[in-house]
Amino acid sequence: MCVCVCVCVLIDSGSSRSTVYLYQWPAEKENNTGVVTQRLRCSVAGPGISDMLVDPARDKLSWTSIRECMNNVTKIVPAAQHNSTILYLGATAGMRLLHSQNETMSNEILGNLQNYLQSLPFNYQNASIMSGDEEGLYGWITVNYLMGNFLEKNIWNTWVRPAGGKMVGSMDLGGASTQIAFTLPDPTARGTDIVQVSLYGYEYNIYTHSFLCYGKNEAEKRVLATLVKNSKNATHVINPCFGRGYNTTVAAESIFGTQCTELPTNYDPKQMITLVGSSDNVACRDVVHGIFDLTSCTDNCSFDGVYQPPVGSGDFLAYAGYFYTAQAIGLTSISQLDQWNSTTWEFCSWDWPTLKLKKSWISDIYLKSYCYSAHYVQTILVNGYKFNKDTWKNIDFQKQVHNTSVGWSLGYMLHTSNMIPAEAKLVRLPMANSVFGGLLFLFTALTIVSVMFLIIKAVRACY
Ligand SMILES: O=P(O)(O)OP(=O)(O)OP(=O)(O)OC[C@H]1O[C@@H](n2cnc3c(O)ncnc32)[C@H](O)[C@@H]1O
Ligand SMILES: [Ca+2]
């Protein structure tokens, strides 16, 4: 429990990279809402922990990069507070995939990492692999905590649930998996992927689902795998999603060395494959559509036969890969669906020299993939989750709220350390704040008028 401490360190071990977060808050206010701020965000150099081999030489390298971030933490947190500083590590889709493929290796990596974290001067709690549903739920908690949707102060300076109790849905696009989570209007709805959580004394009925292999990087490998399989020449492959003029040669294992793609016949991991860009919008859209099973769903279903209630008319925050994609095509924050489509169309029609010129601030490693990811975002949101032209404008593409990164880590820290109590001593008004305020005003006005009336009557009686 983070009781009486003002700082917590959380390591987000994602599939593509690890990030160290340092959160802080005033100790006496720890159960209030909106008091936790992000003091440090440190990107660990190198790949995600699932790609770190546990051979001594690589090991040394890997932990050295985490050590650099932990040294920054050590400098910020006063020495007297080190042993009360809680330290957690949560691993996500990269480790989920590795765990199902090679449990021994995933245990070895986690064990190795645990030894290192235990050797630090902090109050190490645990390092674990989260389930996709937990990841989605914690993302939802982060979003609503940062937006102040759980509690607000009423006119009596007491914490109450905001009038209307509108919560914001959460959509996270990672490298290996993607999550959606939102509250259901019907508090009694039960079923697959619906969880009930009690926060600050209120019950929330939340739908949360995580799609493994639908993260931005793994889904791109699936697109490339389709192109390789459908190509007449399996070593010289046209990629419609890359800009014309962009060619790259990669080893087959960089596409097929994952559980997310099916191995081709006569698979040779070292076989080199040349991918040749062609800036072909329609072909890119079609191959991206092809990785989703959009046919096995009818009502209340997203894709791949997964149950999903309608997204409704509420607001959503889309972050991580959603934000990077929106930023690359120039449509962060709120946009119209038509705008997204036309911007994607224009972006994907540019050849590589034009892309480099127009988006000179983006490094090649990311730039080559944004045409694919713009189509991917449109497909998953519209064909998958069933956003339409009216509800698309409810999606806000962001990476931060109040200078704090949006992701599962803050929600995990708040929940795991009990900083969001299930029950809270709240004043529960029998009516909405605004109605209560209005009635209060009315009664005050009536009292004043009555007193004045009595005074006037008394004065008149004297004459
Ligand atoms: O959640 P999982 O699936 O484990 O993956 P992750 O945690 O490693 O995934 P991130 O949110 O860090 O990144 C999401 C995607 O955005 C990409 N990405 C990360 N940082 C970026 C940056 O600064 N600019 C552009 N793209 C970035 C990254 O390669 C992924 O494809
Ligand atoms: Ca992530």
Mind listing the pLDDT tens digit of every residue in the chain (463 residues)? 444 557 999 999 999 999 999 999 887 776 667 689 999 999 999 899 998 866 555 555 567 889 999 999 999 999 999 999 999 999 999 999 999 999 999 999 999 999 999 999 999 999 999 999 999 999 999 999 999 999 887 877 777 888 777 999 999 999 999 999 999 988 899 989 999 999 988 899 999 999 999 999 999 999 999 999 999 999 999 999 999 999 999 999 999 999 999 999 999 999 999 999 999 999 999 999 999 999 999 899 999 999 999 999 999 999 999 999 999 999 999 999 999 999 999 999 999 999 999 999 999 999 999 999 999 999 999 999 999 999 999 999 999 999 999 999 999 999 998 888 877 655 455 555 566 667 768 878 888 888 888 888 888 877 6
Half-sphere exposure of 398 (CA within 13 A, CB side): 22
Task: Give the residue numbers spanning the domain of 275.
Answer: 131-408
Q: Which atom of ligand 1 is nearest to the CA of 95?
A: 4
Q: What DSSP line would sit under 316-342, residue for residue? A: EEEEEHHHHHHHHHT--BS--HHHHHH
Is 423 contained in some domain? Answer: no
Neighbours of 221 (CB within 10 A): 20
CA distances, 179 to each of 93, 307, 462 (Å): 11, 14, 77
- Collapsing DSSP to helix, strand or coil, 215 comes out as coil
Known binder of ligand: residue 178? yes
The ligand with the least distance to the CA atom of 48 is 1
Known binder of ligand: residue 179? yes
What positions carry a catalytic annotation? 135
Residue matched to tokens 């500083």: 85
Residue 295 host element (H or E): none
Say whether both 117 and 155 belong to one domain. Answer: no
Smallest CA separation from ligand 1 atom 21, residue: 324
What pTM, to 2 d.p., does this model score? 0.91
Contact 148, 142 (CB under 8 A): no
pLDDT averaged over every residue in the chain: 91
Domain count, the chain: 2
Smallest CA separation from ligand 1 atom 24, residue: 324
Contact 358, 371 (CB under 8 A): no
CA–centroid distance, 99 to ligand 1, in Å, is: 20
Q: List all residues whose CB is within 6 A of at least one atom of ligand 1.
A: 14-17, 48, 92-94, 174-177, 215-217, 320-321, 324, 366
Say whether both 111 and 176 belong to one domain. Answer: no
Residue matched to tokens 């957690």: 88
Any residues with CB less than 8 A from the CB of 57 and at least 6 apart, and which?
A: none
Rounded Cα distance, 451 and 265, in Å: 92
Say whether both 212 and 90 belong to one domain. Answer: no
Known binder of ligand: residue 219? no
Q: Judging by beta carbons within 10 Å of its beta carbon (0-12, 13-18, 19+), is residue 262 exposed, middle or buried?
A: exposed
CATH of the domain at 80: 3.30.420.40
Say whether both 125 and 174 belong to one domain. Answer: no
CA–centroid distance, 60 to ligand 2, in Å, is: 24
Contact 407, 92 (CB under 8 A): no
Is 378 contained in some domain? Answer: yes
Say whether both 242 and 370 belong to one domain. Answer: yes
Say whether both 94 and 242 belong to one domain. Answer: no
Report the 3 state secondary structure along 404-459.
EECCHHHHHHHHHCCCCCCCCCCCCCCCCHHHHHHHHHHHHHHHHHHHHHHHHHHH
Give the closest residue to 413 by CA, choosing from 3, 9, 17: 9
CATH of the domain at 369: 3.30.420.150
Q: What is the ipTM, given to two decimal places? A: 0.99
